[in-house]
Every structure is written in C-alpha cells, then in structure tokens.
C-alpha cells in the first residue's frame, strides 16, 4: 500500500482517504462522494476497512462487531472507489516478542508485541475518553498508521463522532501531518437515528427505542430556542429523565460544551454543542448536534 501511494505521489496523483471499520452504510458512501469531489476525477479514492482492536475495551464488542467484506467491496465498486485497503491484524500490529504457540481466544487482542502509540492528552479526557479510557489511543494510533501507509492529501470523517474528529484534527496539527481533514455532516435515517454500523444490533422494539437519542437532541434544541441561556445541569436532568422513559435505554453520559475546545459549559445557549451516549439494550449508541 505504501509503495503504491508513493508511486501515485511521484505521478502527481492526489489521494483521498475514507477510513472505516467496514459494514458500510450510506453515511460512509457520502464520505466517498465528498472525497471524490475534494480530489477530482483524476485523483485516487482509497477506502480502508479495518476493525481496529486497539480502540475496543476488554468488555466491548470487538469479536462481534459486524463484518461483511464481500458486501462492502460491492458497495465500494458501485460508489467508484479506486482502491480498498483491507490489512490484517498481523500487518497493522506486528507480534514482536509474542510466543508463536500462544493459544488464540475469541476476544484476544493481537497487539501484545506492539509498543508504540499516539496519544492526544487534552481533547480525549472527557465524554468518550472518560467512558472508554483506551479508546482514543487506539483511534489516533491506527489513523496515524493509515496516514503513513496511504499518504492521503485529504481524509474524510463523519460528524457523528464529533470528539473523534476533533482529536484527529488536533493530532494532524500537532504532529504536522500533511493531511487536510474534512468533517462531513451526520447522515440520519428518516426517523432521525444517526447511521451507524452498530444499528445492525437493534432488533425488534430496540430499533424504535434507539430514536430516543434524536428525541433528546430535539428536546434540547427546543429548550435553547425558547431561552437565551439555560443551565446545563437542568438540561442534563431533563435528558436523563427523557431517556429513562424507554424501558431498555440507559443514559451513559450527556455533555454540553464549546465546539472548538470541547470545554464543558455551565450555561447552554445557541451554538453550544451537545453529545450523548445511550445504551439501548446491550448496544451503545452515540450522537451529537449543535444546538
């Protein structure tokens, strides 16, 4: 992959990257379209598909995360993707020093011999960083590796993972990666649920209950529209009460913060960013919006 990328660069070919963990949906494909627009018809659009083990915690859904490479490849072909990069764990995380006869486990992480990570230490502290302490270390490390391997001029990320996009932008600025980060709006289902590969887990009435995240955002927006400012602590309580109305939903966190710095605010007003995470059954969903 790296040799191919360098060959493109020598020829003056622009490279656009859409990093994914697969099980693609319309949100991913909209990023492909934006990548094509950004680099032009003569450029190369690369989609990476890799379920990155280092961004999953020990009790999270790494082993059952939805995977369907055959389906993903067809979607990429139909969307005009030029190259799909699908590395394996052994390529991304060499097993230096690992015993060759170590027994495999279903939830095993193939990274015991890997020891170099990229860590952002400010924007990653709250919200997802607090709920999933090792998550962003895995994200920044794998994205840095993808940037080194694919050498993109532009990389596309979705706004659904607002904190992640902010951290990637900070990493690029702090470490002088020659990559332009484009953050595209969240794509939603007709009932407002943010598109996500994990939506596959939502069966039966859980799918209906999952719309509580969008309902919470709409409620917060309506509150801000009525009041010039509103105490964040009161809006947090209102969101918690609303989520509790659904029998299988449980609020993990809700945060109101400045979109540029991710700093929490005491008073919510127009322009404040809202982010929340909710368990619906066993499935953990995230969403965010500007109020």
pLDDT of residue 107: 46
The total domain count for the chain is: 2
In this structure, what CATH number is given to the domain that contains residue 54? 3.40.50.620
Same domain assignment for residues 55 and 174? yes
- For residue 283, the surrounding DSSP H or E stretch is strand 283-290
Helices (H) and strands (E) in the chain, counts: 10, 10
Same domain assignment for residues 215 and 134? no
pLDDT of residue 56: 94
pLDDT of residue 112: 60
Angle at 194 between CA 214 and CA 92, to 5 degrees: 140
pLDDT of residue 228: 87
Contact 40, 75 (CB under 8 A): no
Same domain assignment for residues 47 and 128? yes
In a domain, 176, yes or no: yes
In this structure, what CATH number is given to the domain that contains residue 203? 3.30.1300.10
Q: How far apart are CA 83 and CA 70, in angstroms?
A: 14
**19-62 tens-digit pLDDT:** 999 999 999 999 999 999 999 999 999 999 999 999 999 889 99
What ranges in the chain are assigned the alpha helix state H?
A: 2-10, 26-39, 69-78, 89-92, 128-131, 135-150, 162-174, 205-209, 212-226, 232-243
Structural domain boundaries enclosing 221:
197-290
pLDDT of residue 40: 95
pLDDT in tens, the chain (291 residues): 999 999 999 999 999 999 999 999 999 999 999 999 999 999 999 999 999 999 999 889 999 999 999 999 999 999 999 999 999 988 898 864 454 444 444 444 555 678 899 999 999 999 999 999 999 999 999 999 999 999 999 999 999 999 999 999 999 999 999 999 999 999 999 999 999 999 999 999 999 999 999 999 999 999 999 998 999 999 999 999 999 999 999 999 999 999 999 999 999 999 999 999 999 999 999 999 999
| Encoded tokens for 116 | 């170099």
pLDDT of residue 205: 98
Same domain assignment for residues 33 and 143? yes
Same domain assignment for residues 222 and 117? no
Q: Which residue has the tokens 């590395």?
A: 87
In a domain, 191, yes or no: no
**Active site residues per annotation:** 28
DSSP track, 30-50: HHHHHHHHHH-TTSEEEEEE-
pLDDT of residue 59: 87
pLDDT of residue 95: 65
Q: Which residue has the tokens 């998550």?
A: 135
Same domain assignment for residues 86 and 116? yes
């Amino acid at each position: 992959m790296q040799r191919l990328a360098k060959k493109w660069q020598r020829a003056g070919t622009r490279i656009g990257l859409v990093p994914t963990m697969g099980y693609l949906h319309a949100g991913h494909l909209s990023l492909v379209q934006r990548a094509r627009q950004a680099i032009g018809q003569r450029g190369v659009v690369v989609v990476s598909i890799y379920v990155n083990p280092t961004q999953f915690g020990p009790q999270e859904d790494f082993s059952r995360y939805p995977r369907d490479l055959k389906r993903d490849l067809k979607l990429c072909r139909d969307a005009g993707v030029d190259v799909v990069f699908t590395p394996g764990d052994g390529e991304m995380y060499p097993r230096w020093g690992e015993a060759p006869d170590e027994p495999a486990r279903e939830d095993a992480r193939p990274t015991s011999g890997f020891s170099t990570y990229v860590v952002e230490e400010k924007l990653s502290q709250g919200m997802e960083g607090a709920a999933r302490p090792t998550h962003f270390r895995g994200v920044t490390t794998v994205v840095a590796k993808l940037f080194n391997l694919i050498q993109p001029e532009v990389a596309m990320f979705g706004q659904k993972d607002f904190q992640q996009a902010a951290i990637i932008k900070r990493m690029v600025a702090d470490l002088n990666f020659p990559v332009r980060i484009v953050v595209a709006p969240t794509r939603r289902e007709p009932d407002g649920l943010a598109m996500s590969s994990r939506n596959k887990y939502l069966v039966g009435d859980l799918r209906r209950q999952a719309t509580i995240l969008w309902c919470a955002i709409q409620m917060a927006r309506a509150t801000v529209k009525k009041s010039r400012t509103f105490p964040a602590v009161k809006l947090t309580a209102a969101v918690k009460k609303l989520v509790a109305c659904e029998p299988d939903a449980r609020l993990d966190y809700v945060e109101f913060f400045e979109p540029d710095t991710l700093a929490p605010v005491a008073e919510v007003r127009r322009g404040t960013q809202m982010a929340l995470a909710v368990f619906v059954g066993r499935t953990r969903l995230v969403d965010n919006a500007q109020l």
